């Protein structure tokens, strides 16, 4: 446990995603499901925005783990189907290599025509290896940008990136990671991040602003992430949310972590004719952005 939030380190770096889904199922971890339509829409808008770059913009899924957001973005699958798949009887008896081969076929059959290249960044090497073996990630990196600058592989890859997505990682990474990513970017980068209300995103927003991005968030709309593991974790969350000036009534007080969706785009494409409704013209009440 760190900062009052239960830790799940034991399921992040396994050779395949079975333990991840098995452990998170009773907690109803659901944020990738809420992100799916948002990421699809944003990725399509970003791809439609012609930045003169070579080829389609790459999506970089930050804290990508076993490639869950890549699976949901580029394939006709739901998070519920993934829970069912990875906790099923056939999956239980396979080796990790057999599971990866089974998955490769499964995802290839469900590949969407509008699929975009996805790179993954996560410190858990076995997880990203699995995502690559299953055909979910076009490239994967394990640089810990909280501690070190990007290595040569990631530095090269950052030149292709046009959209950064994030679920479930807001309490692990800080503005240090975003600074490194945006310093290395060469194309206009949009960011779409679901961040727990127990965490202040303000330092990241300041970093994004310094890199020419404008961030908006409708803080009146929240997205549930998962149930609390116990009463102690709930107390921590309720207090943390209050300390950041938000109201936990009917949200954290009702038993789940909630997130806010933050969207960032370069000022010069804000608002863009390609996405007239994606952002409000001015920050909604209570939003914390634009240092």
Tell me which residues touch ligand SAM (CB under 6 A). 12, 31-32, 63-65, 68-69, 121-124, 127, 144, 146, 167-169, 172-173
Compute the distance between CA of residue 161 and CA of residue 291 in angstroms, rounded to an integer. Answer: 25
Q: Which is nearer to ligand SAM, 147 or 281 (CB)?
A: 147
Q: Which is nearer to ligand SAM, 70 or 275 (CB)?
A: 70
Q: Which is nearer to ligand SAM, 135 or 169 (CB)?
A: 169
Q: Which is nearer to ligand SAM, 12 or 178 (CB)?
A: 12
Compute the distance between CA of residue 51 and CA of residue 45 in angstroms, rounded to an integer. Answer: 12
- Nearest Cα neighbor of 197 from 231, 179, 214, 221 is 221
**Residues 6+ away with beta carbon under 8 Å from 280:** 216, 218
- Nearest Cα neighbor of 39 from 74, 79, 80 is 74
Residue nearest to ligand SAM (CB): 168
CB of 75 to ligand SAM, least distance (A): 15
CB of 145 to ligand SAM, least distance (A): 6
Check if the beta carbon of residue 256 is closer than 8 Å to that of residue 225: yes
- Look up residue 97 and give its two tokens: 């290599």
CB of 122 to ligand SAM, least distance (A): 4
Q: Which is nearer to ligand SAM, 140 or 217 (CB)?
A: 140
CB of 68 to ligand SAM, least distance (A): 4
CB of 187 to ligand SAM, least distance (A): 21
| Coil, strand or helix at 263 | strand
């Amino acid at each position: 446990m760190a900062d009052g939030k239960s830790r799940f380190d034991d399921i992040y770096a396994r050779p395949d995603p079975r333990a991840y889904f098995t452990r998170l199922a009773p907690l109803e971890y659901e944020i990738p499901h809420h992100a799916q339509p948002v990421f699809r829409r944003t990725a399509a808008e970003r791809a439609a925005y012609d930045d003169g770059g070579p080829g389609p913009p790459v999506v970089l899924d930050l804290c990508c783990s076993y490639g869950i957001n890549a699976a949901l973005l580029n394939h006709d699958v739901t998070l519920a189907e993934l829970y069912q798949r990875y906790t099923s009887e056939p999956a239980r008896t396979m080796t990790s290599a057999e599971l990866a081969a089974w998955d490769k076929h499964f995802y290839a059959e469900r590949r969407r025509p509008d699929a975009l290249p996805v790179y993954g960044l996560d410190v858990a090497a076995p997880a990203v290896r699995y995502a690559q073996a299953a055909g979910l990630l076009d490239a994967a990196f394990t640089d810990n940008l909280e501690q070190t600058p990007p290595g040569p592989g990631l530095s090269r890859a950052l030149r292709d990136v046009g959209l950064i997505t994030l679920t479930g990682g807001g309490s692990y990474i800080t503005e240090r990671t975003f600074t490194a990513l945006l310093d290395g970017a060469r194309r206009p980068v949009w960011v779409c991040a679901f961040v727990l209300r127990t965490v202040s995103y303000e330092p990241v927003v300041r970093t994004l602003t310094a890199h020419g991005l404008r961030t908006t968030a409708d803080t009146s709309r929240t997205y549930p992430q998962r149930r609390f593991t116990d009463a102690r974790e709930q107390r921590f969350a309720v207090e943390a949310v209050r300390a950041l000036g938000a109201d936990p009534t009917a949200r954290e007080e009702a038993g789940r972590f909630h997130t806010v969706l933050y969207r960032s785009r370069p000022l010069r494409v804000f608002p863009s004719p390609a996405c007239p409704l994606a952002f409000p013209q001015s920050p909604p009440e209570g939003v914390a952005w634009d240092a």
